[in-house]
Structure 1
């Protein structure tokens, strides 16, 4: 069978995000600029100013015009731009936060996804430490992703459009941080969406469809990353599909005759306006039959999913305040609401970008027994990164079945950054210092959910062996235990949730058992590999309870969790490399 490959007008895949940002800024220099050392904070030229709440939005690329397309006067002051389908990192978010801080606080708005929550939470913690008050709003508009009684678990899809617009308008009107937060939460509580996909999208790094769908099939309830929906069936007529999308929205919102709404009919990337207007025609008919008034409609691509064919419908129920904020003028590259804007006020730079210098460790105080020297430890980590690169596409294919198809790509980006950092470190760096450098390199490179999780893991692992120069079997197990503890502390997952934890916990448990039985370093690592493999295989037997795949319920059974699979790949590579060195 011939492998399906897609075509994209890109240069090197690793350059797509900076080149896209450069293209946006060069196309809209009167609206957009880039600030901060990461190059990922797209900032409104005339947005941030003294005394105004700073509005920072963000998320993964591939959803254009979201998110940077909504940066401009009267809407968002800045967007933190992540890799394709991956959250921006805390440092990228902090570049945006520093750029927009006008002394009145900063509000973060983003879709309710694990990676975004983890990374924006870390940025919020850093902001608070700097004395910048923050509030965060996770958009939860997708009715297909959780029932109403668990609506806090819903993901954010095209409803971002309305929530961002309301928040930006509240800040433009001079409301304080709590006032802006209240307006954004009101919009969030009154926004509902549902989507349908007709084709898959493909990641620029793989050029392979993220999932398989038949030429006569559609996926109802699809997310904007290619996550499966609530059912798959044969493609039906536009009116039938529209009714199926609209019915659960109307039921969930409890709309009645006389209510007012704003409507968004959104294309996912490869569905033209001809089809979108046909959908809107039916939406208007149904709302009219219910006596529901349409205040304003938008039809087009506003939150896309690369080149996926499909569409979503979003309704925002309006009261007088939400309608006024929706109608407030704004000017961005993707959305303009006509009207006069007040002259721009003054802007004071409040925060300098400062680099932190770590204190050097006195090597003479460290325990030097053990066969794993810092040089060998670096070789083990380089081997782990090389194995992730080799398995990248396989890991992404696993993720494409139950997630968004980017796990292998994200892990490879992170480990590529780690490998680059390892080869430039001082030769006398300790294992603890190497672990800390790995944490920062990984987190700065990828964000996503794996960024905070592995950054926390490397940091805790390094702390666990901070008294060691070399690692013996006991210290190696302590390093692995610290790795697992860091993941648990940051992510909160448990065994049985169908995550990487299902591999890491049995890996550490088996390694500790081997240590108690007198095993050497290699024996402990071999036990860890066996534990990780058993945990990886176990994930295929259970339903997912966390992350994007948690929306699938029973549909996730039979599929290995990609995070658990990558944990096994890492441990297996480390063990194999040490065997070769010791032979």
Structure 2
């Protein structure tokens, strides 16, 4: 048997390759990256981890560059645990990364669904939980070739990491709580499918020999990132033919059809030329165009490689409004930049606790790509929010009186404090700030000012609502309905209350349903708001017949009957004020 020829690589001592790579990476990007922790394997964002934000930790073996450390930066991952070539990072590496990323709101770990990664990340999570850190983890499993759909939990994670990391990083950057970041990462995982083809093997630096054998005229359909077998080996085929086979599986599994939207990643495995990758993308677009599926965003290049393996993978993520907004959220890393991220280096020399709300609000550098249709401009939206504050303050005593019967009597006072803080924060808003930016500003102001349950509930509502319209400059009827619905869902998720529990949800839920239904009928934004206002009023009044099941008033049992819930009442005031403000500018 002929001895296999050794491959050539520009390396020093193989045992030092990872430490030297990290040193070179951080040295080349000192504005983005630093190393923390005693293991030297935690690459951390200069402008990422911060107090009160969920920390996002990613990781896996080296050899897949720019994954994983290439996705560390503002708006994406806060830290990456870097393993040896094609080997999981150890629990110590992962723990270093998590401690560096922890801002007190918990940490989410994202990694490929491989046995080594699952074991090591799980062990690290157990260690950190014992220290008191809240930890969640999601194993990415996007490789459609690695297991049948009925056993999709067994599937490997390959280039789909790119999208799951992006979604989770954006959610965390927007201030979403840990459970919500986890839920969104899982939703992205469920909406993402990948499949690849390998044309040649790669070689490990330690051996200098190919890690598997493939004939000169052959290709492997469904090959894994480490050279794991695919579903079939066959003779090399034309680019369109190969792309069609990969796309057939992805289209079928994602149930893509006319009117759908996707994000596309055509990923090179290490030594595939740009010519080949663009040929593949050309065919991907042809297939999607033929289905009537629009491509919202696309990337072509090397994003998750296998050393010098020849081949490519295709990843599709099926988009809904939430995933699309998170995909579009700004981030800045050495491997991926989306939008414009403000320089946050100054955060290193100022007290985070003393930041104004204005410091965390993001102002769009350019609104050219935002949807401009709609009569509610950012200025009008801010006028509506100012009117809400005025109406809440005017109704403070009524709201407190309602709360005095079935609660602790401070709801009106609490709401006044929160909305005064919102009004103050909006005074610092630049004229060009988007509605999404104003919602972030409002969320921070309300949360900082109010320590009662209303603080996190309304902060979450504002963040979700802003995110739901992040792609818009102005709001029309449909966007206003989406704003209301997202605010409602944020309150439900945060408070874990459901209709019938006698809470503000009993006003928000019918308001959201009425807004969505009315907007679909083609009426004006004002009519949509009126429908939401009227439904909220009906929902508020209906709480008088309910027995409280959530909050402090739940202890009253039947004694809560006959009294309107103060949270539902303030919800009605909010929507009434928004409606009144829009009427006044028409």
Using the size of structure 1 for normalisation, the TM-score is 0.59
Q: Is the partner of 2:202 in helix, strand or coil?
A: coil
Map 1:328-343 → 2, pairs under 5 A: 328-341=329-342, 343=344
| Alignment deviations for residues 411-432 of structure 1 (CA, whole Å, 9 cap, x no partner) | xxxxxxxxxxxxxxxxxxxxxx
Match of 1:150 in 2: 151
2: CA distance, partners of 1:340 / 1:149 = 41
Match of 1:300 in 2: 301
Map 1:475-490 → 2, pairs under 5 A: none
1:32 matches 2:33: yes
Structure number with higher relative contact order (C-alpha < 8 Å, ≥ 6 residues apart)? 1
Match of 2:163 in 1: 162
Alpha carbons 2:112, 2:161 under 8 Å: kept: yes
1: CA distance, partners of 2:189 / 2:342 = 25
1: CA distance, partners of 2:262 / 2:223 = 23
2: CA distance, partners of 1:163 / 1:96 = 18
| Aligned-residue CA RMSD (Å) | 1.3
Q: Is the partner of 2:262 in helix, strand or coil?
A: strand
Gap change, CA 1:5 and 1:342, over 3 Å in 2: closer
Match of 1:260 in 2: 261
Q: Is the partner of 2:180 in helix, strand or coil?
A: helix
2: CA distance, partners of 1:179 / 1:272 = 39
1: CA distance, partners of 2:186 / 2:318 = 13
Offset of residue 342 of structure 1: 7.8
1:7 matches 2:35: no
2: CA distance, partners of 1:74 / 1:341 = 10
Match of 1:65 in 2: 66
Offset of residue 322 of structure 1: 0.4
Q: Is the partner of 2:145 in helix, strand or coil?
A: helix
Offset of residue 179 of structure 1: 1.0
2: CA distance, partners of 1:342 / 1:210 = 43
Q: Is the partner of 1:73 in helix, strand or coil?
A: coil
Map 1:94-493 → 2, pairs under 5 A: 94-341=95-342, 343=344
1:45 matches 2:46: yes
Alpha carbons 1:138, 1:156 under 8 Å: kept: yes
Offset of residue 338 of structure 1: 1.7
Offset of residue 60 of structure 1: 0.1
Q: Is the partner of 1:145 in helix, strand or coil?
A: coil
2: CA distance, partners of 1:215 / 1:228 = 17
Offset of residue 122 of structure 1: 0.4
Alpha carbons 2:47, 2:344 under 8 Å: kept: no
1: CA distance, partners of 2:5 / 2:351 = 52
Alpha carbons 1:102, 1:348 under 8 Å: kept: no
1: CA distance, partners of 2:231 / 2:211 = 17
| Alignment deviations for residues 222-279 of structure 1 (CA, whole Å, 9 cap, x no partner) | 0100111000000000000000111111111111110000000000000011100000
Q: Write out the 4+ residue segments of structure 1 that deviate beyond 6 Å after TM superposition.
A: 346-349
Where in structure 2 are there 5+ consecutive unaligned residues? 353-586
Gap change, CA 1:333 and 1:242, over 3 Å in 2: same
Using the size of structure 2 for normalisation, the TM-score is 0.59
Alpha carbons 1:49, 1:348 under 8 Å: kept: no
1: CA distance, partners of 2:109 / 2:240 = 37
Alpha carbons 1:329, 1:341 under 8 Å: kept: no
Gap change, CA 1:342 and 1:323, over 3 Å in 2: farther
Count of residues paired in the alignment: 349
Gap change, CA 1:167 and 1:348, over 3 Å in 2: farther
1: CA distance, partners of 2:176 / 2:304 = 27
Q: Is the partner of 2:93 in helix, strand or coil?
A: helix
Map 1:508-527 → 2, pairs under 5 A: none
Gap change, CA 1:7 and 1:65, over 3 Å in 2: same
Alpha carbons 1:73, 1:332 under 8 Å: kept: yes
| Alignment deviations for residues 438-492 of structure 1 (CA, whole Å, 9 cap, x no partner) | xxxxxxxxxxxxxxxxxxxxxxxxxxxxxxxxxxxxxxxxxxxxxxxxxxxxxxx
Q: Is the partner of 1:34 in helix, strand or coil?
A: strand
1: CA distance, partners of 2:188 / 2:171 = 11
2: CA distance, partners of 1:106 / 1:348 = 22
Q: Is the partner of 1:163 in helix, strand or coil?
A: helix
Q: Is the partner of 1:58 in helix, strand or coil?
A: strand
1: CA distance, partners of 2:322 / 2:215 = 45
Q: Is the partner of 1:193 in helix, strand or coil?
A: strand
